Amino acid sequence: MQKMIKNGYIYAGTEGYQADILIEDEKIKCIGKNIPTEVLKEKENVIDADGCYILPGAVDVHTHMDLDVGIARAVDDFYEGTVAAVCGGTTSIVDHMAFGPAGVPLHYQFEVYKKLAEGKAVIDYGFHGTAQHVNDRILSELETMAADGIPSVKIYLTYGFKLNDAESLQILKKMKEINGITAFHCENHDVIEFLKQKYKSEGKTAPVYHAKSRPNLTEAEAVSRVLKLAQMAGDAPVYIVHLSCKESLEAVREARKKGQKNIFVETCPQYLLLTEECYEREDGLKYIMSPPLRTREDCEALWEGLMDGSIQVVATDHCPFRYGKEKQMGKEDFTACPNGAPGVEERLMLLYSEGVEKGRIPMSRLVEVLCTNPAKIYGLYPQKGILQPGADADLVILDPKAQGILTHEKMHGAADYTAYEGMKIHGRIRQVFSRGQELVRENQFMGKKGSGHFLPRKPYCASLFAHALLDKK
Ligand code: URP
Ligand code: ZN
Ligand code: ZN
């Protein structure tokens, strides 16, 4: 099957330029100016994208579909969650697998997740491993997980199965040895637990105390510690998930300035756009997530970090619970509220509207942080994250002139709210293609349940970043 997208403004890892894209079966065959439509066997397969931007399908390397957090389960399974993702312009996800029963090997959760995703996901998907304890078996399994297409593992420094520094160091060393990358949820568990108990004992149980019990420095301390551990492991590749505040960013810049290599940083739209004032609202439970929302000053510091290259990725940490149901568990006590919020569908719209349209980042940077960098860091490049011959024909046609209002009514996930209700949005996603198939047209999902493939990912490749922005700041 062939298709041609004509006259779009193409963002393929560079400044945009007007050209045509020829798709053959699941791949991009060629990109060029004025490709004659005569090359098409079926003439009707021409899509006019005049006045629109064409960008690679976005890659979200931080989602939690169907996540079991013990007290509740994230309400998007791999079908609903990936329909929401693709309607928002995301054509690949790398999902963080949940903790399993105590003591299980890494492959145990991999088997569980294969079953959760197979036959449901509508876009291509991979998984990150989750280390919940460390022993010789786990360390050697990191190697077999990588061979099975999972060259990344996440460590939580808080929550039930948190790892200590010695355990984290062993994982970092092993991951470096096998060209893997270790992702960290950075928060100082002991201090947070102390503050949570203190507020509770004083009867301070409203949502705002979720934020007060997790101040900026509890994150920044953990970020600094993790960076030192990575340095001790010989500049092991390290990826900080959902970085949310200026002090953490300073710690990253400091480490890079001293010459530490292989540091990657992710933030999320909620930390760029929303502030702790949300917790004072009547529906403040909607915003209980960890780390919590911060101040406007933190948001501005993160935008600056995106622009100057300190931050490489904007992912979502999509972890949806219903306000009308699961979130109400925290009504009397914020510590009983499941942590997390929906966001997989909103990411591209928000970054285009609030980032590009408002002049905070250029379009080429949007493509880097949503598409190309996550694909490079996590072993999906150049199959994903770029528009070039040979890449999967995953692409988004975006009309930059359209305007609308972001509202839950028009969204596709199973949560009962969006954290951005009523926000004015510039730009509209007109069509989304995944491996050459049109999956979305004008906000309508047109694909088939289960059409997504498991993505075995390649090892971490430092040379992809040889001349990149990563060590600039
Ligand atoms: O509150 C959050 N972020 N929930 C999802 C799990 C995590 O910490 O990433
Ligand atoms: Zn986390
Ligand atoms: Zn997460």
Q: What is the pLDDT of residues 151-180, one digit of tens each?
A: 999 999 999 899 999 999 999 999 999 999
**d(CA 348, ligand 3 centre) in Å:** 18
Q: Which of 94, 289, 321, 329 for a ligand 1 pocket mutation test, highest count of atoms within 8 Å of Cβ? A: 289
Atom of ligand 1 nearest to the CA of 289: 1
Alpha-carbon separation of residue 205 from 81, 183, 212 (angstroms): 31, 31, 11
pLDDT at position 471: 43
Instruction: Provide the CATH topology of domain 57-386+456-465.
Output: TIM Barrel (3.20.20)
473 pLDDT above the threshold of 50: no
Nearest ligand to the CA atom of 340: 1
Which residue in 363, 388, 380 sits closest to 464, CA to CA?
380
Residue 471 CB partners (closer than 8 Å, separation 6+) = 256, 261
Instruction: Provide the CATH topology of domain 2-55+391-400+416-445.
Output: Urease, subunit C; domain 1 (2.30.40)
Q: Which amino acid is at 106?
A: L
CB of 290 closer than 6 A to ligand 1?
A: yes
CB of 317 closer than 6 A to ligand 1?
A: yes
Q: CA torsion angle for 418, 77, 130, 245 (degrees, to 10)?
A: 0
**d(CA 339, ligand 1 centre) in Å:** 6
Q: What is the pLDDT of residues 284-310, one digit of tens each?
A: 999 999 999 999 999 999 999 999 999
Backbone angles phi, psi at 291, to 5 degrees: -65, 165
Q: What is the pLDDT of residues 117-148, one digit of tens each?
A: 999 999 999 999 999 999 999 999 999 999 99
18 pLDDT above the threshold of 50: yes
Residue 213 CB partners (closer than 8 Å, separation 6+) = 192, 195, 196, 198, 199
Spans of all domains in the chain? 2-55+391-400+416-445, 57-386+456-465
Q: Which residue has the higher pLDDT, 211 or 467?
A: 211
pLDDT at position 42: 81
Q: Which of 60, 62, 63, 64 for a ligand 1 pocket mutation test, highest count of atoms within 8 Å of Cβ? A: 64
Atom of ligand 1 nearest to the CA of 290: 1
pLDDT at position 9: 97
Q: What is the pLDDT of residues 255-276, one digit of tens each?
A: 999 999 999 999 999 999 999 9
Give the separation between CA 252 and CA 234, rounded to whole angstroms. Answer: 16
470 pLDDT above the threshold of 70: no
391 pLDDT above the threshold of 50: yes
CB of 339 closer than 6 A to ligand 1?
A: yes
Quote the strand ranges of 233-362, DSSP E.
238-240, 263-267, 313-314
From atom 2 of ligand 1, which residue's Cα is the shortest distance away?
Answer: 340
How many CB atoms are located within 10 Å of the residue 102 CB? Answer: 9
Q: Is 251 helix (H, G, I), strand (E, B) or coil?
A: helix
Atom of ligand 1 nearest to the CA of 241: 9
pLDDT at position 91: 98
pLDDT at position 31: 97
